[in-house]
Structure 1
């Protein structure tokens, strides 16, 4: 099996021949979401939020909020004309050298519902708003879901993807930002529409949520997410794999706070961590290895890293099922 065939065997609940890894299984596309949601190199997004680039990633300009009362959001949020965002041009650039049939086309869609609210009004205001004015929050989330659905439809037409990975971080390393009840009542209805709009077009939905979010993973599965992206080890990954085998693929597994993720970690440390992931998670047949490595220039998967090639070579010695 090639990477694509092996991936879809796993998605269909069959036994794959080998454990896939993010670095080889996907053709990852992110220029579209750079234009529609969050500029990877910093700058103004289509909504007027200024993003600051750091080596670790981009973040909204600190202490510069568009509004601080969620009830006022309509006075400030102006949805851009999607035709002006250059999605088709971005797709032509990213897909120009792609050979169909070998890899899985995965289009990233960053800055989801909660992340967008926090980008507009800051985390403190956003979290307080969920409790103090859930009705206005729901109204905002439904309107922004309409935007994300329209964007995803254009991604599907332009890229012809197999997967859309939707980013919305809802947790810290210790637990959710909000209670599961608040998530289910205030955010989930709009989130469900986003997922159903993607899956109804025959595209797999991958949910990116870092941190300890295991309390709502069942909600993701129930809504139709097929992959949980960047699944971290503060969650019961083995238990989740067993519980949702055949319906959810875990993508992650890397010890993001352990020695293998330290800047300057040795190649040997990376190889040992990859072997651990293969042994602990890979043998269950619903796992994709996703290293999260930082170096002095930033995220190794984005900026490159001399340690990756020997790690991948070593991975191929242990990835057989």
Structure 2
């Protein structure tokens, strides 16, 4: 009996005698908006912006813009329109969206028609703890508050975590996913936004609760964070993260895989700033895909993919996906 794409991915993720290597998103039930991750009631509980939006106000009261020529929405937060204007009084400003008002009818129909036997079901859940803190107030204010008002920030994020656990519980109940794709960018391409010490005090405890709940339900965790997170690799293992999706090569990927002893599957590896360009030469793109495969796959616990899930430019996406499939098959035939 042939191995399903679902099993192919899980074997590769677990470093369990894999026989396949290719475009990892081929192994998932696909979503036309966000290829490998489905949207459901938990995803849209924020009332997120859509392409072309200007001045869109989400369920929390955050203002967003999404120009058609941009790959995603950007919060437009000022001192005047910030949801939380004084972190010491966050509970007076923050109104939590009512999750009981979500209409799950269409999402339940979606869940009923998925190919669960052959492909993985992954639900998206955006805006993690750190990202939440800097969309409800200006970014610089959030950074200052982590230093100057740590107790108030912790209390606010604890309340947000309570709400998020309820949203995730509803997704698990209705969509019955194999895994959840969470989002939280913790740094730039060169450094963390918070020192590891502050991150461990201010952010990590909330993920211990959230991810502890997810794991208790038997659901895998794919944490997206396409930035420099090298100092937090072991912390991700502590949190029960199965896959760190978004590992850019500015991280020492080899060192992280060795330090985490195969307990964390690292996904990414390609340097998208070099190849995700409208005029990038095809061979340069293909060479970068091959470099990521040749350099990192032999280490185990690694899956090559686009760190930001899919490229900005469609022509680049087509070339990357083709090279992942063709060279991935060649590599698997020789080495697996």
| TM-score (structure 1 length as normaliser) | 0.90
Note the residue ranges of structure 2 that are not aligned, 5 or more in a row: 30-35
Residues 173-230 of structure 1 show CA distances to partners (whole Å, capped at 9, x for unaligned) of 1111011111111111111101101011000112222211111121111121111011
| SS across alignment from 2:135 | helix
Q: Are the counterparts in 1 of residues 184 and 225 from structure 2 also a CA contact under 8 Å?
A: yes
Deviation at 1:88, TM superposition (A): 5.2
Hey, what's the Cα distance between the residues in 2 that align with 1:126 and 1:53? 22
1:299 is the counterpart of 2:312: yes
Hey, what's the Cα distance between the residues in 2 that align with 1:294 and 1:223? 22
Q: Are the counterparts in 1 of residues 249 and 270 from structure 2 also a CA contact under 8 Å?
A: yes
| SS across alignment from 1:229 | strand
1:56 is the counterpart of 2:71: yes
Moved over 6 A (4+): none
CA RMSD of aligned residues (A): 2.4
Alignment of 1:245-260 (within 5 A): 245-258=261-274, 260=275
1:7 is the counterpart of 2:9: yes
User: Match for residue 69 of structure 1?
Assistant: 86
Deviation at 1:70, TM superposition (A): 1.0
Alignment match of 1:240 (pick from 238, 243, 256): 256
User: Match for residue 300 of structure 2?
Assistant: 285
| SS across alignment from 1:141 | helix
Question: Could you say if the C-alpha distance between residues 14 and 143 of structure 1 is closer, same or farther in structure 2, counting changes exceeding 3 Å?
Answer: same
Aligned length: 316
More strand by share: 1
Residue range with higher mean Cα deviation, 146-155 or 23-32: 23-32
Note the residue ranges of structure 1 that are not aligned, 5 or more in a row: none
1:86 is the counterpart of 2:103: yes
Q: Are the counterparts in 2 of residues 118 and 126 from structure 1 also a CA contact under 8 Å?
A: yes
Alignment of 1:98-113 (within 5 A): 98-113=114-129
User: Match for residue 175 of structure 2?
Assistant: 159
User: Match for residue 32 of structure 2?
Assistant: none
Deviation at 1:20, TM superposition (A): 4.7
User: Match for residue 148 of structure 2?
Assistant: 132
Q: Are the counterparts in 2 of residues 198 and 205 from structure 1 also a CA contact under 8 Å?
A: yes
Q: Are the counterparts in 1 of residues 20 and 329 from structure 2 also a CA contact under 8 Å?
A: no
1:221 is the counterpart of 2:229: no
| SS across alignment from 1:318 | helix
